[in-house]
Structure 1
């Protein structure tokens, strides 16, 4: 979704077709290798390591969140959060049904927290919140970097239906200086009206919609396909890796469950049709 404005990014995804549905997931091996490359990349004299900055982000989450609602949490725990061991394990998974243009999608992704509590009524929206950290904006260069970060903040939360993003601004030494609450839906206008106008949310949506429509016209048979965006290359490549099967994208248990479920549904529909029209096409009494 951010590809039109992220020429320096590099990523890979895998796709497969099953029962006329396109399943897409991140290529986890590529993501892991990219993180390792970032960690081992040479840094400037005073630059902090990528691992340390990741720790700052997780620490921000640790001191900002509670495992239970405020009223159910002891004062002792609240005041001792600074001493909590940092972990990136605890998280929610938001699964939403949405669409871009003509494309209907079900998306799952990690979310940091809920602002209050999850409603018991599953039909009600969840008040998700995403936490982010970034360097304090102290000059024009940092402003440009921040606006580019906002693109990714917005795209992630927009797709998963996360209404709020809480941003912690830190010093170069990792000291939290201030916190800002952002309305996800308002971020594109914020960039357009108050920033440098480095990206347009509507263009991101239109490009993503057009690409997915095109992808459906390309991936029309089973097998495993690779979707790849290389660093400094504006094109997105799509090519086939495996001629048959679904790779690791779909588990055998899932394929069996869906196959048996479809067969049962078709059998039930056929039975209902026979009951209505009768054996020889005469309406049953």
Structure 2
């Protein structure tokens, strides 16, 4: 239920009189780049510069038809309206170390982020232009505001008037909007100094954003701005950190040619103020404006200096008043939300110049449709020590299971994995996959090139071949067994933390949190069987899977091979407080997380950062596709995969003439002794044989007559 307040009406009712009182430009720092991100064609957040464009200025005179390609124009989907400030939140999560206060900062108990106010540039532009937009021709605005962990977040929303205008757009209005995007396609390029193919469709969803930090008087801000392009005399890497490279951003605009003094004044009064505010907030020095005729053809490109715009528009608007008004609004926010700290509570500010010259607000003190700070962003306080004394670990007998569960899955799902009777390979093997194992075996192989150090335990993989299919079964190395046997109480507790974190972040029922007082039972697992091909190898492997993303419950007997599903991986790590810890994470843990996730087609990993006491205060969402880039020079995904494939190549050659369920090729890798993989052959039934008699009998019965 909304709580109305009238204080703001009184304090802001006479803001237009500021034209006489706020002529001095306030103290505003030059914005600095914190980072960048892209949004792709599917409106997915991408942690790179892949949508960055370069300015390719052809000179003042051109003949560019902005109507070209209008029939293939791809507009943003309706769902884009519901993104709110999600992409800023994702940027913060991905770039936490750049925006978080250091642990020893005197303000750390009040807030965890350096910026006090976070928003898109559009919110600031609205506020800056408000003193000059109190006319019936303007649509007004709505800004929702929340405060959490000491930081204020602002989220713009379309006013009813603006939403109605969009809904009732004429064909001409839609075409004029398109002109702006088409002009960008002409004057900007994806590749440095290489003009775009103008016959390609304009895709409105593709965007490039820069994130800036600045101070307005005593306010520290972080804001994200869609950025048209950069001016650079050389190409920049897609993964370049633009916070560390001097870069010049540019803004490009189109406008109808001004043929009369009235049109020129309208440009100075309305459009120029918006262009200046947008550009000033990003530290942009030049704006390139394409002047078009009535037919949508640009004949001239005008280059304007941003620093000169306030002088050009001085009789219509005052830059000092714009900035002072924005700062006064931020002052008021800090006072109004001084004792507020809740991610769901929203202060909803509205400005409707057609009704009143006042800014009004309502308070929504619990979760409502206006709440915009996402649950996956909001910090948590999860104590991973809870329930440790009731932890039910796996029994010792679990070590003897080997690959029994895979064999049981094959028997239960024979028709899914068996070759059809008339298949040309049927005489050589009865199963479609040539290689079968748990995901863990593949992860071990993928990470081997980077684990030949004394700190690693090595591995043992037993291999058998039967009816043309190779089976792999991992076994603990003596070093790992010794380490497990000699685990300290702290080490056991750290292992428990991972399972407890799963209990917090995953649920048995959608949107219904687990009961944290219930014991963690390590034996309870959910596994998924995947088929894939690595080069010329067909594989089936089973992976224990942490959870799925779904907004509705799925039947327990649902066949997930027939339902599009998104799996997720969740991990816990100790908070990294120095560069050495960060490098160790990138070098070792990240490679394992990437390999596990990549093998299951997982796109997002949720990582809980815990303090030394086992309290998770922050959850980071990492894109699996970005992990190899984050690893930098520590490891290479291509080397990981190629090594695994070479090992599988070798297996096929080595076991070419072998076909016996009891014979085992026992491969061992002990980096503490040698950097080589060694093997022994056990040609009869031994303690290392792992293909169960009940499975062998089943395969023999079904080889000639596949189960229907």
TM-score, structure 2 normalization: 0.33
Matches within 5 A, 1:29-178: 30=476, 34-38=480-484, 40=486, 49-70=490-511, 73=512, 78=513, 81-116=515-550, 122-147=561-586, 148-178=588-618
- Residue 659 of structure 2 corresponds to residue 211 of structure 1: no
Structure 1 residues 212, 121: CA separation in 2 closer, same or farther (over 3 Å shift)? closer
Q: Is the 8 A contact 1:224 1:246 kept in 2?
A: no
- Supply the distance in 2 between the matched residues of 1:179 and 1:205 (Cα, whole angstroms): 29
Per-residue CA shift, 1:177-233, capped at 9, x if unaligned?
A: 2111122232112223xxxx2000011011111111012111231311112111333
- Supply the distance in 1 between the matched residues of 2:525 and 2:532 (Cα, whole angstroms): 22
Alignment match, 1:24: 472
Alignment match, 1:189: 629
Identify, as 1 or 2, the structure richer in helix: 1
Per-residue CA shift, 1:88-145, capped at 9, x if unaligned?
A: 2222111100121121110112111112255756234431111111111111110122
Q: Which has the higher contact order (CA 8 A, sep 6+)?
A: 1
Residue 68 of structure 1, CA deviation: 1.2
Residue 14 of structure 1, CA deviation: 1.1
Q: Is the 8 A contact 1:23 1:249 kept in 2?
A: no
Deviates more, 1:246-255 or 1:15-24: 246-255
Q: Is the 8 A contact 1:13 1:25 kept in 2?
A: yes
Other structure's SS at 2:646 match = helix
> Which residue of 263, 271, 281 maps to 2:704?
263
Per-residue CA shift, 1:144-189, capped at 9, x if unaligned?
A: 2211101001111211333321111111222212111122232112
- Supply the distance in 1 between the matched residues of 2:481 and 2:619 (Cα, whole angstroms): 27
- Structure 2: gaps of 5 or more residues: 1-445
- Supply the distance in 1 between the matched residues of 2:481 and 2:626 (Cα, whole angstroms): 31
- Supply the distance in 2 between the matched residues of 1:179 and 1:56 (Cα, whole angstroms): 14
- Residue 473 of structure 2 corresponds to residue 14 of structure 1: no
Which structure would you say has the larger Rg? 2
- Structure 1: gaps of 5 or more residues: 266-285
Residue 53 of structure 1, CA deviation: 0.3
Per-residue CA shift, 1:28-55, capped at 9, x if unaligned?
A: xx269725524516x7xxxx72101001
Structure 1 residues 137, 121: CA separation in 2 closer, same or farther (over 3 Å shift)? closer
User: Aligned pairs, how many?
Assistant: 247
Other structure's SS at 2:565 match = coil
- Which ranges of 4 or more aligned residues in structure 1 deviate by more than 6 Å? none
- Supply the distance in 1 between the matched residues of 2:524 and 2:685 (Cα, whole angstroms): 36
- Supply the distance in 1 between the matched residues of 2:577 and 2:597 (Cα, whole angstroms): 26
Structure 1 residues 174, 32: CA separation in 2 closer, same or farther (over 3 Å shift)? farther
- Supply the distance in 2 between the matched residues of 1:155 and 1:214 (Cα, whole angstroms): 21
Structure 1 residues 234, 20: CA separation in 2 closer, same or farther (over 3 Å shift)? same
Structure 1 residues 98, 246: CA separation in 2 closer, same or farther (over 3 Å shift)? farther
- Supply the distance in 1 between the matched residues of 2:580 and 2:682 (Cα, whole angstroms): 41
Other structure's SS at 2:531 match = strand
> Which residue of 671, 690, 693 maps to 1:249?
690
Q: What's the C-alpha RMSD, in Å, of the aligned pairs?
A: 2.4
TM-score, structure 1 normalization: 0.78
